[in-house]
Amino acid sequence: MEFIKLAFHNLLRHKLRSMLTLVGIAAAVTALFSIISFNRGFERGLAEEIEKTGLHFMVVPAGCPHEVASLVLHGAVTPKYIQAGVMEEMQGIAGLELISPMLITQLPNPARDRLDMVYGLEMAHITAIKTTWTINGAVPAGSDGILLGAEVAAHDNLNPGDQIRYGDRLFTVTGIIRKTGSQDDAFVYMPIQALQEILSEPGRLTAVGVKVAQPEQLEEITADLTGRVPGIQIVTMNDVLRSLGTLANSAKVLSLSIAAIAMLIGAVGVMNSILMAIFERTQEIGMMRAIGANRQDIFRIIIKETVILTVAGGMTGILFSLIGAGAIEGFVRGIMPYVPSGRLIRFEPWLAASCILFSVILGMAAGVYPSYKASKINPIEAIRG
Amino acid sequence: MIELTNITKNYVRGAEQVQALRGIDLNIAGGEFIAIVGCSGSGKTTLLHILGCLDKPTSGNMRIDGADVAKLPEAKLVRIRRERIGFVFQQFYLIPGLTVFENIALPLVFNRKPKDRDRVMALIELVGLAHRVKHSPSQLSGGEMQRVAIARAMVNNPQVIVADEPTGNLDTATSEKIFALLQALHGTGLTIVMVTHNPDLAGRVGRVLEMKDGRIM
């Protein structure tokens, strides 16, 4: 029976109070771990997506950089279009290996009485520009085949071979894209010419993706293109990385401040709870002094109570964040214009250990005053009651 | 064994200066059984705390086995309490979350001694609680709790037991049994100093000190 056991028994005496204090710490650690883990996952996922995209830059109509970035990586419905003739101009430029036109819009789906988000692209380019996709089924070969994002397929319970009508044309689903966890899941993918025909807008484009033959010529080519075609914006993958990085960073500062406040509240909770416990145990502390405990012994017992509380709270917090990871990510995906695909909050042992350590250090800092106060209890006054 | 010469103790209670002891001269020989009686406020508990090295006198001399302890710092006094003194309180002060065994072994933890299972078990037998080893204090009667407290006071092999109204919370029959236990311990050579309000018990010990206004009458 050592001090740690005594401390543990003391906490068990007021199970509800200890539990509530622990939940306070757990909530703070949940926030801290989730936020840091999410940010790391965001940076990692973004870098992976940029690396995997088969394009070097996108030609888009000028607009908000975040919107553009989102458009570049996952597609977004914007009311702006590239002026006609851009494709022709680009075909005249040397050194472009792949020029892939894209049109993103909404189409009425009369059978379901709603608007579908439709992404028109060159089906032949899909393997080159969507390198992360896995397709159950096949990429459409003809002009009346379509691919469905996982959410669209799941929501309407559609399978390869089913048919959907847009305008006066009937399309056959040839494949379903396996869930990516990004906006890609919410689109219907259609051959671009078919989409332009339905809209009666031949040549209308939202963006053009470009892969160059020699990446070292990238700067020359983009400069050339900007000079030749007015009204467009060229977004390289580095621009995207930088723009989203800035967005993520400002979010990080804000969210970490919130986590810091949560930690502070948790620490105050620990201090309050331990102070109350000492107040109630004054006589017992006096007795322990009488039977041979010195001041340091009392200090050690009380500080160990805070350590137990914060270690247990910290571990519970990590558990909470792993359990709640899906919900947290879903929430953030709903409010941020761009979030990389895949799972972002992961269990990283060193990060979990650091968060727990941080909560323990903070808890001990909060426990120092109560422990000191307990060690100063005058045994005679305590016993006299 | 314990010699007090002209011991005084003043302390502040609120705005008031209390003269709890006003010149105590007392010699306690090894193996004595002493009862301290007197009305409340007479200074008997203060005297007991000083004898138990829990409190320091304001002035005067105090020797234990010839060594001057009156001016020792708390760090030295705590060692005397650990090694030579056993405390018993009116309210028992057992730790609720610990078993009977663990409560008795508690002073060993503070004394940095290994948990001597045989010694603790022998004490449990001595106080007649062999069937209660793993029980928690909440499962015990008042008399049983005081037995645990007495065993706890004995675990460090003290020379002196100081008991502050050990039967104050117990009925007459139970008080008798606790008193009998203290007498038995006294029979093994232990020195016992007991504060009590019970004149009947006080009358049956070796020496009675009656206190009034901080003095021994």
Contacts of B96 in chain A (CB under 8 A): 13
B137 and chain A in contact, CB less than 8 A: no
CA distance A10 to chain B (A): 7
Predicted confidence band at A68 (pLDDT cuts at 50, 70, 90)? low
Predicted confidence band at B193 (pLDDT cuts at 50, 70, 90)? very high
Residue B75 falls inside a structural domain? no
Residue A68 falls inside a structural domain? no
Residue B66 falls inside a structural domain? no
DSSP sequence for A34-91: HHHHHHHHHHHHHHHHHHH---SEEEEES--HHHHHHHHHH----S--BPTTHHHHHH
pLDDT greater than 70 at residue A18:
yes
In this prediction, residues B191-196 reach a mean pLDDT of: 94
pLDDT digits (tens, 9 = 90+) for A332-373: 877 776 777 778 888 999 999 999 999 999 999 999 999 999
Residue B60 falls inside a structural domain? no
pLDDT of residue B52: 92
In this structure, the answer to whether residues A185 and A226 fall within a common structural domain is yes
Residue B2 falls inside a structural domain? no
pLDDT digits (tens, 9 = 90+) for A142-157: 889 999 999 999 988 9
Most B CBs within 10 Å, among A291, A301, A383, to test the B interface: A291
In this prediction, residues A55-63 reach a mean pLDDT of: 80
pLDDT digits (tens, 9 = 90+) for A226-248: 887 777 888 888 787 787 788 77
Predicted confidence band at A314 (pLDDT cuts at 50, 70, 90)? very high
pLDDT digits (tens, 9 = 90+) for B29-73: 999 999 999 988 899 999 999 999 999 999 999 999 888 988 889
Residue B74 falls inside a structural domain? no
Q: What is the dihedral of CA A137, A143, A144, A146, to 10 degrees?
A: 40
Structure ipTM? 0.92
Judge: B97–A12 Cβ closer than 8 Å, yes or no. yes
In this structure, the answer to whether residues A205 and A290 fall within a common structural domain is no
Residue A270 falls inside a structural domain? yes
| pTM, 2 dp | 0.77
Residue type, A125: H
Judge: B81–A287 Cβ closer than 8 Å, yes or no. no
pLDDT greater than 80 at residue A54:
no
pLDDT of residue B21: 92
Residue A79 falls inside a structural domain? no
In this structure, the answer to whether residues A294 and A347 fall within a common structural domain is yes
A381 and chain B in contact, CB less than 8 A: no
pLDDT of residue A65: 59
In this structure, the answer to whether residues A271 and A371 fall within a common structural domain is yes
In this structure, the answer to whether residues A218 and A353 fall within a common structural domain is no
pLDDT of residue A71: 65
Residue among A10, A283, A292 whose CB faces B78 most closely: A292
In this prediction, residues B180-195 reach a mean pLDDT of: 93
In this structure, the answer to whether residues A93 and A37 fall within a common structural domain is no
CATH number at residue B50: 3.40.50.300
Pick the range with the lowest mean pLDDT from A59-68, A324-333, B11-20, B184-193.
A59-68
pLDDT of residue A4: 86
Report how far residue B2's alpha carbon sits from residue B53's, in angstroms, rounded to the nearest whole number: 11
* Reduced DSSP (H G I as helix, E B as strand, rest coil) percent helix, strand, coil of chain A, to 5: 60, 15, 25
How many domains does one find in chain A? 2
Q: Say which residues have a Cβ less than 8 Å from residue B87's Cβ, sequence separation at least 6.
A: A287, A290, A291, B52, B54, B81, B153, B161, B162, B163, B164
CA distance A311 to chain B (A): 21
Residue B73 falls inside a structural domain? no
How many domains does one find in chain B? 1
In this structure, the answer to whether residues A224 and A255 fall within a common structural domain is no
In this structure, the answer to whether residues A214 and A261 fall within a common structural domain is no
Of all residues in chain A, the one with the smallest CA distance to B112 is: A2
Task: Assess contact for A379 and A286: CB atoms under 8 A.
Answer: yes
Residue A55 falls inside a structural domain? no
Q: Determine how many CB atoms are found less than 10 A away from the CB of residue A189.
A: 28
Domain boundary (A230, A262, A283) is at A230
Residue A237 falls inside a structural domain? no
pLDDT of residue A335: 77
Between chain A and chain B, how many beta carbons pairs sit less than 8 Å apart? 68
Domain, as residue range, for B101: 32-54+83-216
pLDDT greater than 60 at residue B145:
yes
Predicted confidence band at A74 (pLDDT cuts at 50, 70, 90)? low
Residue A78 falls inside a structural domain? no
pLDDT of residue B192: 95
Residue A10 falls inside a structural domain? yes
Domain boundary (A205, A230, A255) is at A230
Residue A58 falls inside a structural domain? no
Judge: B78–A294 Cβ closer than 8 Å, yes or no. yes
Mean pLDDT of chain A: 86
pLDDT of residue A213: 84
Judge: A9–B95 Cβ closer than 8 Å, yes or no. yes
Of all residues in chain A, the one with the smallest CA distance to B13 is: A381
In this structure, the answer to whether residues A310 and A351 fall within a common structural domain is yes
Domain, as residue range, for A353: 3-48+244-384
Residue B72 falls inside a structural domain? no
Give exposure, A265-276, as e/b (b: 16+ Cβ within 10 Å).
Answer: ebbebbbebbbe
pLDDT of residue A88: 82
Task: Assess contact for B144 and B124: CB atoms under 8 A.
Answer: no
Parallel, antiparallel, or unpaired: how do β-strands B33-37 and B191-195 relate? parallel
